[in-house]
Amino acid sequence: MLTLVVWSVNGWAKEFNYQAHVEGMVCAFCAYSVSKNIGSLPGVDAESVNVDLKSGRVGFKATKQVSQQSLEAVFTESGFRLDKLSEIELPPTNGQSPQELSLILDMRLDSLDTDRFEAVFEAVGNIAAGSPSRLVIEAPGLLEGNLLKPVLMGRQQVMKVRFRPSDTESIHLQLYM
């Protein structure tokens, strides 16, 4: 009986779709920061956050309502400003799912010396920025900035990047295209 209740509740779960305008973004690193901040909000699907750097538009999905105040709160010390937040209706997808990306690069570096591999990170960033892609980086949390700077800094192309802190003594890069 409990299984039926849980299944029924999940079937009725509402998905909220939002669009916001964020001012102050000038590069891909800014877009990453905005995406990470929004993705940290309770109920927000971090993978759904989509940033358009040129227009400043940000779209995302959530399993519960998100208020403008809660969204503004994640930007209080970041230098970005939320101009507006609106809930939007998405057109029906007719059962079609977005094209899945394929893993094209799976690299593990058994060293935490980010300076030694900066050219590698920059090259991966160049590849990722050239077409629709998703980059997943898994490394100790303290290395986040050192790894993302050569990948994202100064780029005008936004790419999907997910940093996953780990307690390993290695850096793991996965690029999907």
pLDDT tens digit sequence for 103-133: 999 999 999 999 999 999 999 998 988 888 8
| φ/ψ bin of 23: left (φ > 0), alpha (ψ from -120 to 50), beta (otherwise) | beta
Cα separation, 88 vs 163, in Å, equals: 28
Q: What pLDDT score was predicted for residue 111? A: 94
pLDDT tens digit sequence for 62-81: 999 998 888 888 877 778 88
- Is there a contact between 126 and 175 (Cβ–Cβ < 8 Å)? no
pLDDT beyond 50 at 4: no
What are the structural domains, with CATH classification, of the chain?
A: 15-87 (3.30.70.100), 103-176 (no CATH)
Q: What pLDDT score was predicted for residue 3? A: 47
State the amino acid at position 17 in one-letter form.
N
pLDDT beyond 60 at 82: yes
Joined tokens for residue 104? 């094209």
Q: What pLDDT score was predicted for residue 92? A: 53
